[in-house]
Amino acid sequence: MLDFHKTINEGRCKMNPRKIIVMRHAESQEDIDKTVYAHTADLDIALSKNGEAQAINVSAKLSGMLSGGTVHFYMSPGLRLRQTYEFVTARFSKIITHSFTVETLILKQFWGDVTVENRREIEIARYKEGVLVYRFPNGESGHQLVERFKLFVENLRNEFQKDNFPENIVILTHGFEMRIFLMVWFGWSVSYFERLANPRNCEMVTLSLRSDGSYILEDSLRMYDPASNAQHIARK
């Protein structure tokens, strides 16, 4: 009898990945100094020195989670994402075969005309209206971002049907976008999504394949606590 997640087609094996690991990039210059946007395009923002160390340190943990075999990274465009990938994989065990695709569908939400000067005002408007409803001036709304990720998930599931698909995948993206991916994948409600905190830099969550072909979330997610955040903006 064939395994639940395998089919044989003309002698070639098709298999859903054992693990889907969703990971936020390491600390970047933007994470420690928002004024970096005054002189650097978002896609050109590099890791901080601390971020480089984070990526190096998380490499052994990720390598152990993969337990050898093949892994394919789906990576949001941007220098800080590419640097995270390079620092992490440079220290992988030799028994791990890795590859990557730069995937524009998991790009960070486009913030449009946000500047250093108007950022605070826009953030106030965004949280009052709701992060999924609000649309940045000449940018994207949260709902538009959700539609992008729905297309990514649909494409990803189709890729699972390819011959000899990798045993594991890593989705390397941003904090808010990690939450969007998980909401789309598991069909979470908006109210639950809004209670979640953004993952920290280099934080990972793992989806593991179950015997029925579905995936289970192995990690607990942090909940957002407005009382502990001095920058929280109450929605009216």
Would you place residue 68 in the very low, low, confident or very high pLDDT band (cuts 50, 70, 90)?
confident
Long-range CB pairs of 11-17 (<8 Å, 24+ gap) are 12/163, 12/164, 13/163, 13/164, 14/160, 14/161, 14/162, 14/163, 14/164, 14/165, 15/160, 15/165, 15/167, 16/160, 16/165, 16/209, 16/213, 17/160, 17/165, 17/166, 17/167, 17/168, 17/169, 17/209
Position 196 in a domain: yes
Share of the chain above pLDDT 70, in %: 89
Structural domain range at position 178: 6-228
Would you place residue 234 in the very low, low, confident or very high pLDDT band (cuts 50, 70, 90)?
very low
pLDDT tens for each residue of 35-59:
999 899 999 999 999 999 999 999 9
pLDDT tens for each residue of 175-225:
999 999 999 999 999 999 999 999 999 999 999 999 999 999 999 999 987
The CB density around residue 174, as the number of other CB atoms within 10 Å, is 22
Q: What is the CATH number of the domain that holds 178?
A: 3.40.50.1240
Number of domains forming the structure of the chain: 1
pLDDT at 12: 35
Position 235 in a domain: no
pLDDT value at 26 more than 60: yes
Position 1 in a domain: no
Q: What is the pTM of this model?
A: 0.89
Position 69 in a domain: yes
Position 175 in a domain: yes
pLDDT at 69: 86
Position 234 in a domain: no
pLDDT tens for each residue of 109-129:
999 998 889 999 999 999 899
pLDDT tens for each residue of 199-208:
999 999 999 9
Comparing 81 with 2, the larger pLDDT belongs to: 81
Q: What is the mean pLDDT of residues 57-75?
A: 93
